[in-house]
């Protein structure tokens, strides 16, 4: 999993399933699609990777200049992120080790806001009898963690139908990548400059 652009360009995010546990890795095609939407420079923007896994999305955002926070509930994968943060001397990178729903509440209680939020939990995980991706989307829609002109990316299994609207969020578009779907949400009302959206 190679970082393709920015200050960390060319570095590889190592991942060993025996040490860090089996996870579903985001495909290079999907990662490329996300950052093609956002562009090569994210300077001045804040990025939250709510379910970081091996960290490839968060590290790519950091490499492109975003103020980046990453969260990984699993202790083994969190240790991997900590190790890379130390090894690569990533100043300003913010790491958390909480359940996604707990982190949302914790950050909101502190008045935090993010321009970009990426949500890619395990597809089989649930919260309150809902798929975790849907439950986290609903929490984000009910709260203020996503800034007024921000964008929320939800990566989920293709067969899961997410709502067109939830709370203050509206689905702007969906793209399919094999059995995975990427759904893009923004707050209601949609940003006035509708043409200045990721495409």
Q: Considering the chain, what is the average pLDDT of its residues?
A: 91
Asked if the structure places residue 194 within a domain, the reply is: no
> Does residue 45 belong to any structural domain of this protein?
yes
**pLDDT per position as a tens digit, 126-176:** 999 999 999 999 999 999 999 999 999 999 999 999 999 999 999 999 999
The first and second tokens of residue 67, run together, are: 């103020």
Structural domains in the chain (count): 1
User: In this structure, is residue 136 part of a structural domain?
Assistant: no
Residue 38 inside a domain? The answer is yes
pLDDT value at 193 more than 50: no
Does residue 129 form part of some domain?
Answer: no
In a domain, 151, yes or no: no
Contact 72/85 with Cβ under 8 angstroms? no
Examine residue 69 and state whether it is found in any structural domain, yes or no. yes
Is the pLDDT assigned to residue 190 strictly greater than 70? Answer: no
| CATH number of 64's domain | 3.40.50.150
Q: How far is CA 61 from the centre of its chain?
A: 10
Residue 23 has pLDDT above 70, yes or no: no
Domain-embedded: residue 2: yes
Domain that holds residue 61: 1-14+28-114
């Amino acid at each position: 999993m190679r970082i393709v652009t920015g200050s960390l360009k060319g570095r590889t995010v190592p991942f060993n399933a025996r040490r860090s546990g089996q996870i579903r890795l985001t495909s290079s095609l999907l990662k490329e699609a996300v950052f093609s939407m956002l562009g090569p420079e994210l300077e001045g923007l804040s990025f939250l990777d709510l379910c970081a896994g091996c960290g490839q999305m968060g590290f790519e955002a950091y490499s492109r200049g975003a103020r980046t926070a990453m969260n990984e509930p699993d202790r083994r994968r969190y240790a991997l992120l900590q190790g890379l943060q130390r090894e690569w001397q990533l100043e300003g990178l913010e790491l958390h080790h909480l359940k996604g729903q707990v982190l949302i509440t914790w950050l909101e209680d502190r008045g935090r806001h993010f321009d970009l939020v990426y949500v890619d939990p395990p597809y089989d995980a649930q919260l309150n009898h809902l798929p975790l991706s849907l439950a986290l989307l609903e929490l984000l829609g009910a709260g203020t963690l996503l800034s007024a002109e921000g964008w929320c990316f939800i990566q989920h299994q293709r067969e899961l139908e997410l709502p067109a609207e939830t709370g203050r969020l509206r689905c702007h578009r969906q793209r399919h990548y094999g059995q995975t779907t990427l759904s893009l949400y923004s707050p209601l009302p949609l940003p006035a400059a509708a043409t200045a959206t990721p495409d």
